[in-house]
Amino acid sequence: MASTYEEARDELSEFATTKWTAAVASISPSAPLHYTNLNADPPEVPQLWGRLHIQNRDGTRASLGGECSRFRRFGSLFIMIFVPIGEGSQSADQIADSLVVAFEDAGAIDNIWFRDVGMREVGPDGTYHQVNVEAQFTFDRTT
């Protein structure tokens, strides 16, 4: 159960990595998922790959106070899918659809709730065509 930004990032990263592995299994099982804060560079040889970015945003008090206070945290999760230009968008669309459904069907992991899950086509990005899966999330810290 996430009560800190670090715990939420860990749970979200684990969930996204598991769903990425399942989504690419039939298309390109070795397709890497990079993390923005670690190795975000594209593979040297153009191939299907992804980048996970978790962005925390504003928080707010979600209770009136008293002995137990609740603070709501907001954020966005992005899984950026890259396919080499010239290979078409079918594989990116299939992966994106699988990821969107995985987040929608889960609804939440522990106390992290997903909202507004969808796919956004970004288009050409250098030698790659980019499609993003985006999910808004919230979690509460209780004192």
CA 116 from centre of chain: 12
Lowest mean pLDDT among 28-32, 69-73, 115-119: 69-73
Q: Rg of the chain over CA atoms, in angstroms?
A: 17
User: What is the value of pTM for the model shown?
Assistant: 0.91
Half-sphere exposure for 84 (CA within 13 Å, toward CB): 10
Instruction: For residue 137, give Cα distances in angstroms to 38, 77, 124.
Output: 22, 7, 27
What domains does the chain contain, in order, with CATH numbers? Answer: 5-142 (3.30.2000)
- In this prediction, residue 39 carries a pLDDT of 72
Instruction: Summarize pLDDT for 44-54 with one digit per residue, the tens.
Output: 889 999 999 99
pLDDT per residue over 36-87, tens digit each? Answer: 877 767 888 899 999 999 999 888 777 776 777 888 999 999 999 999 998 8
The DSSP letter of residue 48 is: -
